[in-house]
Amino acid sequence: IELDADFAKLEELRLDGEIDLDKCRVREAPRLASAERLNRGFTHRVTMRDGRTRSLRLFPGSSSYTPLANISRYMTEAVLTTEDGSFRRHDGFNTTQLQAALRRNLQAGKVRLGASTITMQMVKNVLLSHERTLSRKLQELFLTWWVEQAMSKQRIMELYLNVIEFGPGIYGVTNAARHYFGKHPSELTSLEAAYLALMLPSPVRRHEHYCNGALSERYQAKLTWIHDLMLERGRITALEHDTYAAMGLTFDLLERGDPETCLAEIETLLAADQTQRALSGLLGDGDDHAYEEIGWAGAQTDANGSWGVRPPLPDDLPPPPGLEVGVGQRLEPRGEGSWMVPRDPVGDDPANSDAPGRPAMDEDFSGEDD
């Protein structure tokens, strides 16, 4: 990696280099990170911000899981617009995005813009804990490379949309679509999808709009901008844009409860999150926990120096037995006792030549979380 930076002219910062693992081969992967497991349905354990754990059943048939083919294409197009415009073309890493983030963060004097691709975000949410340490970052880089070898882009996107956090305790697009709009992910409009994508950088704090029952004027401007950007980049048509913009955004408030209680829960979770991060920095780097969470050889050694790996959670696979599921596709009946797996809707297209992800965090609105 070569970095050329003049702190008086950060706009001219240049970052060159590549992560070249082409000659590397994985001889054996632990079960939790194996290609076989990742490409089939499995049960994933999430540690929430308040310390509680939750099991997500990531397979067709689960009430909280939706195969990619049954998710509105607007949702995919929205996260490609806000998170990772070159997802379908890169190999898990985007040096252009990293350069933009580095420049912006140096100018701000703090971290204002992330550089994680969708693949990296999926790895962090499915295979790693949330410690912010150098060793965990190295794990993330290696696992990102491995995931791109072991999984299709469709499957990566499917897992990403089904595990990412969209609000306090709201994991996956199935729960998010139901919570915010009272509908199935297949029914999301382009404006609703843009709203959910805009939640991702700060899902707990931005849940306050739902608590209030309406968007702030500033956040509405953000949403309009992202929706316009989806049109500008060819991800939706002019007819789709105008139709759904005219319909506007209406929350389903069935799960909200008392607005003040809803807002208070946000502040409690944010305070707990800050405390957890502070303790992580004061009490150690948490490497053992990070390794244990993914079962990666390297967590601990026994008296004989052998690597220890935590046993995985049971994988509650849906019927029919023995069928490979989870390559980004849905199961459909095809006669008595027969099943088929249709082709995935996600493929490479010219729209992915656009700029790196999270444009909404890289413009005039970037410094605010409202």
Task: Give the mean model confidence (pLDDT) for residues 171-196.
Answer: 97
Whether 367 is covered by a domain: the verdict is no
User: In this predicted model, which residue has the larger pLDDT, 268 or 108?
Assistant: 268
3-class SS of residue 71? coil
Whether the per-residue pLDDT at 270 is higher than 50: the answer is yes
Question: How many Cβ atoms are within 10 Å of 348's Cβ, its own excluded?
Answer: 10
Domain count along the chain: 1
For residue 201, give the CATH number of its domain: 1.10.3810.10
Higher pLDDT, 194 or 347: 194
Helix then strand then coil, in percent of the chain rounded to 5, is 45, 10, 45
Q: Is residue 106 part of a domain?
A: yes
Note whether residue 25 is domain-resident. Answer: no
Angle between helices 73-82 and 217-232 (to 10 degrees): 100
User: What tens digit of pLDDT does each residue of 109-128 get?
Assistant: 655 555 688 998 989 888 88
Residue 41 and residue 325 in contact, taking contact as beta carbons nearer than 8 Å:
yes
For residue 357, give the 3-state DSSP assignment.
coil
Residue 368 has pLDDT above 60, yes or no: no
In a domain, 3, yes or no: no
In this prediction, residue 35 has a pLDDT band, given cuts at 50, 70 and 90, of confident
Among 109, 111, 84, residue whose Cα is nearest residue 96: 84
pLDDT the model gives residue 84: 86
DSSP E strands: which ranges in 159-272? Answer: 165-167, 170-171
**Residue 119 covered by a domain:** yes
pLDDT at position 329, please?
A: 38
In a 10 Å sphere around its CB, with 0-12 CB exposed, 13-18 middle and 19+ buried, how is residue 96 labelled? Answer: middle
pLDDT tens, position by position, 235-267: 999 999 999 999 999 999 999 999 999 999 999
Distances, alpha carbon 350 to alpha carbons 62, 81, 113, in Å: 34, 13, 25
Neighbours of 269 (CB within 10 A): 18
Predicted pLDDT of residue 98: 64
Task: Give percent above pLDDT 90 in the chain.
Answer: 35
Mean pLDDT of 172-183: 97
Q: Give the H or E element holding residue 4.
A: strand 2-4
Please confirm whether the linkage preceding 320 is cis (ω < 30° from 0): yes
Q: Is residue 1 part of a domain?
A: no
- 214 lies in which domain range? 45-300+309-332+339-360
How does DSSP classify residue 310? P
Report pLDDT digits (tens) over 38-94. 888 888 888 877 778 888 888 888 888 999 999 999 999 999 999 888 888 777 666
Rounded to two decimals, what is the model's pTM? 0.69
Residue 36 lies in a domain: no
275-309 pLDDT, tens digit each: 666 655 544 333 322 222 222 232 333 333 332 22
Residue 370 lies in a domain: no
pLDDT band at 173 (very low <50, low <70, confident <90, very high): very high
57 membership: H or E segment, kind and range: strand 53-58
Kindly state the average pLDDT of the residues 164-182.
96
Position 138 confidence tier, pLDDT thresholds 50, 70, 90: confident
How much is the pLDDT for 95? 64
Query: What confidence tier does 31 reach under pLDDT thresholds 50, 70, 90?
Result: confident
